[in-house]
Amino acid sequence: MPVITNIEDLKRIYERRVPRMFYDYCESGSWTEQTFRENTSDFDKLRLRQRVAVDMSGRSTASQMIGQDVAMPVALAPVGLTGMQHADGEIKAARAARDFGVPFTLSTMSINSIEDVAEATGAPFWFQLYTMRDADYVSRLIQRAKDAKCSALVITLDLQILGQRHKDLKNGLSAPPKLTPKTIANLATKWAWGIEMLRAKRREFGNIVGHVDGISDASSLGAWTAEQFDQTLDWNKIARLKEQWGGKVILKGILDAEDAKMALKVGADAIVVSNHGGRQLDGALSSIAMLPAILDAVGDQVEVHLDSGIRSGQDVLKALALGAKGTFIGRAFIYGLGAMGQQGVTKALEVIHRELDTTMALCGETQVTNLGRHNLLIPQDFGGHWQD
Ligand SMILES: Cc1cc2nc3c(=O)[nH]c(=O)nc-3n(C[C@H](O)[C@H](O)[C@H](O)COP(=O)(O)O)c2cc1C
């Protein structure tokens, strides 16, 4: 067993173990991937203030997200096709999150269904909703999430149409993979993945297949999105969905202060400052660069979370110190899952927790809830200088 000290170590094992099609699906941004790259590199621009001679005993990373206790404010983000990265991937990731004490978010485009995850974990999780043209299907999906006792609905707003990711088109991304000479050649080198996948509970989109009629090709993410996603989604519809759900609502994919104010108006319990991990609007600024302006606009009235680009506990600390109350990780936990299943997700969480805890101590803080801008050195032009 190799010694794993950081998220990059998990990524290297992940790349070796998982079929290329699914590695590329995870490790891509849209078009030129500028936003994807800057999501991570912009964290480096924020620097930390070292403080000394502070009693660093009794540290705690515990806090709350939307009123729920968390061992650290780091949730697992909704990731479509997680069950293709590792057999029963959603169940394994949800169990790792439950045991660690952080929230797990199940994607609409998951392989394991809402019911699979509820049954296998016995603990509440969050459900991420993509809105579809078929309003009946959306109502049934919301009802299924209620029946499964999901404790929050995460409505994703930045993917009504798919940002183009070149590799997915070239690879013919599908779940399960279609057998072509190219995929067969690659799958032949991933036998451990394949053997486990043969035993998996599911290999198709568990929330969709068997729950909707008349789809031309449910295995293709691109075709399904183009045909089924509701391009007419607007704030009125969001308000109606919130009403239909009746519980905690998190609006995900906010990257602009004006949209953050609209989210506030419809009564969101939290927003996630996110550009979908650089997978949608290439050319948009990174989430961390947009965070200060959004916090200035709504930070004292709604809980603000952040994702996109987090690869370490230091990144988590920087987002929290800027003022976010919570964070989500996408790829960081997928690397762990693909590398080592449930154990790998736990490893990813442990790595991030250790980095967060140690960095907090070296910044002279003992409670994650006391982090603030006083812990950071923020470049004067951090958000960029742009014309009105
Ligand atoms: C492979 C992959 C699939 C994703 N699928 C979904 C999804 O189904 N629903 C959703 O709201 N976000 C989805 N996202 C976006 C994540 O929830 C999250 O916003 C993003 O991964 C954060 O960036 P990070 O990967 O740099 O942490 C996906 C991201 C990746 C990498």
Beta strand 63-65 pairing with 68-70: antiparallel
pLDDT tens for residues 23-74? 999 999 999 999 999 999 999 999 999 999 999 999 999 999 999 999 999 9
The mean pLDDT of 218-244, rounded to a whole number, is: 89
pLDDT computed for residue 75 by the predictor: 99
C-alpha distances in Å from residue 92, one per residue of 196, 204, 283, 330: 13, 17, 34, 15
Residue 388 counted as domain residue: no
HSE-CB of 120 using CA atoms within 13 angstroms? 18
In a domain, 1, yes or no: no
The reply to whether 276 belongs to the active site is yes
- Region 63-87: what's the mean pLDDT? 98
Distance 98 CA to ligand 1 centre (A): 20
Share of the chain above pLDDT 70, in %: 99
* Cβ of residue 275 lying under 6 Å from some atom of ligand 1: no
Best probe residue, ligand 1, of 25, 205, 276 (max atoms within 8 Å of C-beta): 276
pLDDT for residue 222? 76
Confirm whether 17 is domain-assigned: yes
Predicted pLDDT of residue 132? 92
User: What is the pLDDT confidence band of residue 221, given thresholds at 50, 70 and 90?
Assistant: confident
| Separation of CA 307 and ligand 1 centre (Å) | 9
- Is the distance from CB of 295 to CB of 322 less than 8 angstroms? yes
Q: Is the CB of residue 331 below 6 angstroms from any atom belonging to ligand 1?
A: yes
Q: Is the CB of 208 under 6 A from ligand 1?
A: no
Mean per-residue pLDDT, 368-381: 98
Which residue's CA lies nearest to atom 14 of ligand 1? 79
pLDDT in the model for residue 216: 58
pLDDT tens for each residue of 157-213: 999 999 999 999 999 999 889 889 999 999 999 999 999 999 999 999 999 888 887
Does residue 131 form part of some domain?
A: yes
Q: 326-329 and 303-306: which strand pairing?
A: parallel
Asked if residue 226 is part of any domain, the answer here is: yes
Confidence at residue 217, expressed as pLDDT on a 0 to 100 scale:
67
Average pLDDT over the chain reads 96
Question: Could you identify the residue written with the tokens 């983000």?
Answer: 77
Residue 214's pLDDT band (cuts 50, 70, 90):
low
Residue ranges making up the domain that contains 270: 7-377
Q: Which H/E stretch holds residue 318?
A: helix 313-322
Instruction: Give the number of the atom of ligand 1 that is nearest the alpha carbon of residue 109.
Output: 8
Q: How confident is the model at residue 87 (pLDDT cuts 50, 70, 90)?
A: very high
Per the CB < 8 A criterion, the answer to whether 371 and 360 are in contact is: yes
E strand segments, the chain: 47-48, 63-65, 68-70, 74-76, 105-106, 126-129, 152-156, 249-254, 270-273, 303-306, 326-329, 376-377
> What is the spatial distance between Cα 160 and Cα 131, in angstroms, rounded to a whole number?
8
- Which residues have CB under 8 Å from 290's CB, separation 6+? 255, 256, 273, 383
Looking at the predicted structure, is the pLDDT value of residue 263 above 90? yes
Q: Is residue 91 part of a domain?
A: yes
Please tell me the residue having the least CA distance from ligand 1 atom 19: 276
Q: For residue 233, how far is its CA from the centre of ligand 1 (angstroms)?
A: 20
Per-residue pLDDT band for 325 (boundaries 50, 70, 90) equals very high
Band (pLDDT 50/70/90 cuts) for residue 226 is confident
Number of domains the chain contains: 1
What is the reported pLDDT for 289? 98
Candidate of 41, 76, 90, 279 to mutate for ligand 1, largest count of ligand atoms within 8 Å of Cβ? 279
User: Domain for residue 2, yes or no?
Assistant: no
What is the structure's pLDDT at 215?
A: 66
Report whether pLDDT(146) > 80. yes
Out of 276, 305, 374, 385, the active site residue is: 276
Q: Decide whether any atom of ligand 1 lies within 6 Å of the 253 Cβ.
A: no
Average pLDDT value for residue range 109-125: 97
Q: Exposure pattern of 185-220 as b/e (b: 16+ CB <10 Å)?
A: ebbeebeebeeebeebebbbbbbbbeebeebeebbb
Specify if 387 maps to a domain. no
Question: Using CA atoms, how far apart are residues 340 and 347, in angstroms rounded to an integer?
Answer: 9
In 45-69, which positions are buried (b, 16+ CB within 10 angstroms) versus exposed (e)? bbebeeeeeeebeeeebebebbebe
Classify the C-alpha dihedral 32-33-39-40 as positive or negative.
negative
* Residue 15, both tokens: 């790349």
The CATH number that applies at residue 108 is 3.20.20.70
**260: confidence class by pLDDT, cuts 50, 70, 90:** very high
Q: 47 to each of 189, 289, 295, 324, how far by Cα in Å?
A: 42, 13, 19, 17
Distances (CA, A) of 50 to 310, 344, 360, 361, 363: 21, 31, 10, 9, 5
The Å distance, Cα 198 to ligand 1 centre, comes to 25
Question: Which pLDDT belongs to residue 247?
Answer: 98
Distance from the alpha carbon of residue 276 to the mean position of ligand 1, in angstroms:
5
Look at residues 214, 6, 9, 241 and name the one whose alpha carbon lies nearest to residue 143.
241
Q: Is 276 in the pocket of ligand 1 (CB under 6 A)?
A: yes
Distance from residue 12's CA to the centre of ligand 1 (Å): 19
- Give which of 382, 385, 361 is closest to 371, Cα–Cα: 361
Task: Establish whether residue 338 lines the binding site of ligand 1, counting it when its CB lies within 6 angstroms of any ligand atom.
Answer: no
Q: What is the pLDDT of residue 225?
A: 80
Nearest-atom index, ligand 1, CA of 108: 8
Task: Assess whether the C-beta atom of 252 lies below 6 angstroms from ligand 1.
Answer: yes
**Confidence (pLDDT) at 210:** 85
